[in-house]
Homo-oligomer: A and B are copies of this chain.
Amino acid sequence: MKPKDEKKVEAIAAAVYRLAAGKGLAAVTLADIAREAGVATSTLYVYYKSREDLLDDVYQKAKTATVTRYASDDDPKASLKARVRRIWNNIVDNRIENRQQVAFLEQYYHSELLSETSRALGQRMSAPFIELLVAGQRSEQLKTVPPALLAAAVMGLARETALLVSRGDLPDDETTRANGFQLCWDAIRA
C-alpha cells in the first residue's frame, strides 16, 4: 500500500507479467512472484496486504501504461483516418512488444478477480477514443452504428492482427500492418 522501494514494486510487477504469460495467471503463486522478483515471500506483504491486492495493483499499473501507449503520438490536428490509424498501430505495437503485460491483463480481466475500481478504470480510459469515433460519425466519415461497435471492431481487429503476428502466422512488418488496418478502416468507414 505504501511502497517505499519503487524498484522492488516494479520487480514484482515484472515478475507477475513474466509468470502469467509463461504458466498462466491461475498457476502463479506468491512464492513464484517472490522468487522471480528476488525477495522473500513475506516481503510481498510489506507492500500489499493480500494476493488479491497485489494483483489488482499490478493490473491497474499495467492497464494505465497500456492505455497511455494507445494514445501516444496522437495528433488532434491530423485527419480522422490518420488518428485512428495511429491508435490502431499503437494497439498492435503494444500487443506485440508488451506481450507478457498484455497476457497478464487479459487473463486478469477474465479472472473474476477484477475489482469494481479496476473495471471502472478501463471504462474511463477508453472514453476519449469513443469520443473520437463519435466525432467521425458526425462528420459522416464513419458508419452510423452504435459507437461501441466501432470501438470493438478497431480493438478486435488490432487484437487479431497482433495475435497472428505473435503466433508467427504473419510477419512483423509494415505490410501486415497496412493489410490489417485496411480491413479495420473498411469495416468502420461509412
Binding site for B on A (CB under 8 A): 23-27, 106-107, 110-113, 143, 145-146, 148-150, 152-153, 155-157, 159-161, 163-164, 169-170, 179-180, 182-184, 186-189
Contacts and interface: CB of A to CB of B under 8 A. Distances in A.
Contact of A180 (B27, B149, B160, B186): B149
Contacts of A157: 152-153, 156-157, 187
Given A24-B111, A26-B27, 12 more contacts: A143-B183, A146-B169, A146-B170, A148-B170, A149-B161, A149-B164, A149-B170, A152-B160, A152-B164, A153-B160, A156-B156, A184-B187
Identical subunits present:
4
A163 B152 contact: yes
Given A26-B26, A143-B183, A145-B182, A160 B155 contact: yes
Given A149-B161, A169-B148, A143 B24 contact: no
A164 B148 contact: yes
Contacts of A143: 179, 182-183
B112 A24 contact: yes
A50 to B, nearest CB: 15
Contacts of A150: 183
29 contacts: A23-B112, A24-B26, A24-B112, A26-B26, A26-B27, A27-B112, A106-B110, A143-B182, A143-B183, A145-B183, A146-B164, A146-B179, A148-B164, A148-B169, A148-B170, A149-B161, A149-B183, A150-B183, A152-B157, A152-B164, A153-B157, A153-B183, A156-B156, A156-B159, A157-B157, A157-B187, A183-B187, A186-B186, A187-B187
